[in-house]
A and B are shown apart, each in its own frame.
Chain A
Amino acid sequence: MLKVENLKVYFKTDLGVVKAVDGVDLEVHEGERFTLIGESGSGKSVLAISILRLLPKNAEIDGRIIFNGRNLLELSEEEMRRIRGRKIAWIPQSQSSLNPVLTVGFQSAEPVIEHFGLDKKSAFAKVLRIFDFLGIGRNRAKDYPHQFSGGMRQRVLVAMGISTSPDLIIADEPTKGLDATKRAQMVELFRKIEDKTMLIITHDLNFAEKLADRIAVMYCGKIVEVSPAECFFNGPLHPYSKGLLDSLPSRGLKPIKGFQPSMINPPRGCRFRERCEFASERCKNEPPLISVDGRSVRCWLYD
């Protein structure tokens, strides 16, 4: 359904060129929940935004993003407008993503009116059905965003995302800023819409574990591992994936030594080399993505 090939996104800044996404290949299959995990600054959000072509002006983008057989990077802005929201929906982080002066019902109906040409009344009726389905309650459609709690606001954003029945949903850190019980509710919510193809971006590993079909790990602008979720949590391949899992409180709370390198001058060869306990002479050369039992990993250990 979605295929990203050798995608590069560079930002020109005063300090130099920030290589936020540096040669990413990935494939999201129809009907699966593909989850991209990584720390802040690893480039995962930039990757998602570039699929919708909503990058700021100082970004340079290169590669191919094939969606339903068409390369999104070659489409005109007008064609792209018909895809955004209609074919590919974006569920942003809850912080300030809603318009404070419009009722949530109206905001959720807007994409339906825009893309299907429905009149206000039938669009609103559609939204009420979705509100009921997601447990927001139709009686709250006339309320304003500030009258909602963080968890409820996130639900409204999900409602808005699915209102146009898109082919692909991209959710950016849907559990950010929510407490433990609200996170559990968010898992339930995403399970409700499980027939959808989803690209979920998160650094909440517990959330990823409960939802994902496949996991991709991003580090410093590169995908370092792609595995089925179950295999990933039982036995991660890449040393960085291991480090991430070991830093969970339930798995020993062991931090990864060192810091994430700068994206302006990333180390040559393997980018995790300086923090890796298995690093050797070979790691000075960039490892390829190596296939292991249907999983792939960017590490010389598996060569």
Chain B
Amino acid sequence: MVDLSGVGCMIEGIGLKKVFKFGILSSKAVVAVDGVNIRVGECETVALVGESGSGKSTLGKILLMLIKPDAGRVIFDGKDLTKLKGRELRKIRAEMQLIPQHPDEALDPRWRIYDSIAEPLRIHKLVSSRTEEENIVFELIKAVGLKEEHLERYPHELSGGELQRAVIARALALNPKFIVCDEPTSMLDISTQASIVRLLMDMQRKFGMSYLFITHDLELARVIADRILVMNGGKIVGEWQR
């Protein structure tokens, strides 16, 4: 394993396993994640690469507890997330976010961009007045390079790159410590990809969060990551360190 002494550990997965069963009569099963140990340090970017179907997205979602693992533990902030329930887990969720692959599916098509970005603030009751909320939202969109006019629009009125910026703004709204970026640029054009990746790197420098960056683009992984983990058939089969 990598020497992380001197660097605090942000999130750790120990012995994670997930089996998806399907079929009512026949009981078929796919082992998506098969006994994985993973650590992401503070301010660290770990890239998780692998073919489609290798279990990288499932692993990312397990770390966020969006999928409950069949076995293993997820340690975040000194707590075992697999043991937490309801309210406690929801509180922790504010500190970890997901930036998904399809920004168009991640935003409610009937909501204005403003409401989508403000929603996490409302859910976690972090603002007491409308003006306070507006100030935070305006600050966020400035940080991700959107304009105020975008806030009044609906998702279908924005381009792919703009949508992904809006999703990033929403993810940043709660000052998370850990973000899983699940192929955030694979649906975007090459020059848009460059600007979104630059934006994510700038945000990390500014706010100091950790990333688990899921991608199948090895070139991209090599440019952005401190460490690269290679996943195949539900297991981590290789590691590369900058």
Binding site for B on A (CB under 8 A): 39-41, 149-150, 179-182, 203, 205, 243-244, 247-250, 253-256, 259
Contacts and interface: CB of A to CB of B under 8 A. Distances in A.
B194 interface: yes
A253 B191 contact: no
Given A40-B160, A255-B198, A249 B52 contact: no
B145 to A, nearest CB: 10
A55 B198 CA distance: 37
A250 B218 CA distance: 10
B122 interface: no
Contacts of B198: 253, 255
Interface in B167-215: 189-195, 197-198
A182 B51 CA distance: 8
A255 B197 CA distance: 9
24 contacts: A39-B189, A180-B51, A180-B216, A180-B217, A181-B51, A203-B190, A243-B191, A247-B191, A247-B194, A249-B194, A249-B197, A249-B217, A249-B219, A249-B220, A249-B222, A250-B219, A253-B220, A254-B194, A255-B191, A255-B192, A255-B195, A255-B198, A256-B191, A259-B159
A247 B190 contact: yes
A181 B216 CA distance: 9
B189 A249 contact: no
Contacts of B29: none
Contact of A179 (B51, B191, B197, B222): B51
A254 B190 CA distance: 10
Tell me the dominant secondary structure on chain A's binding face.
loop
B211 to A, nearest CB: 15
Contacts of B194: 247-249, 253-256
A20 to B, nearest CB: 15
Contact size range, B: 20 to 34
B17 to A, nearest CB: 24
A179 B160 CA distance: 19
Interface in B211-242: 216-220, 222-224
Given A253-B223, A255-B198, A248 B190 contact: yes
Tell me the dominant secondary structure on chain B's binding face.
helix
Contacts of A150: 52
A210 B194 CA distance: 21
Nearest to B190: A247
A39 B218 contact: no
Nearest to A204: B190
Given A249-B217, A255-B195, A244 B51 contact: no
A40 B189 CA distance: 7
Contacts of B197: 249, 253
Contacts of B224: 249
A87 to B, nearest CB: 32
A-B complex: 8 closest residue pairs judged by Cβ atoms: A255-B195, A247-B194, A255-B194, A179-B216, A247-B191, A249-B219, A39-B189, A249-B220
Contacts of A40: 160, 189
Contacts of A255: 191-192, 194-195, 198
A180 B163 CA distance: 24
Nearest to B49: A180
A181 B54 CA distance: 12
Contacts of A256: 191, 194
Nearest to A183: B216
Contacts of A203: 189-190
A183 to B, nearest CB: 9
B52 A39 contact: no
Nearest to A180: B216
A78 to B, nearest CB: 38
Contacts of A254: 194
Contact of A248 (B51, B195, B216, B219): B219
Contacts of A248: 190, 194, 219
Given A205-B190, A247-B191, 11 more contacts: A179-B51, A180-B51, A180-B218, A181-B216, A247-B190, A247-B194, A247-B195, A249-B194, A249-B224, A253-B223, A255-B191
A203 B216 CA distance: 17
Contacts of A244: 190-191
A129 B48 CA distance: 39
A179 B219 contact: no
A251 to B, nearest CB: 9
Contact of B193 (A41, A182, A247, A259): A247
A241 to B, nearest CB: 11
A179 B52 contact: yes
Contacts of A247: 190-191, 193-195
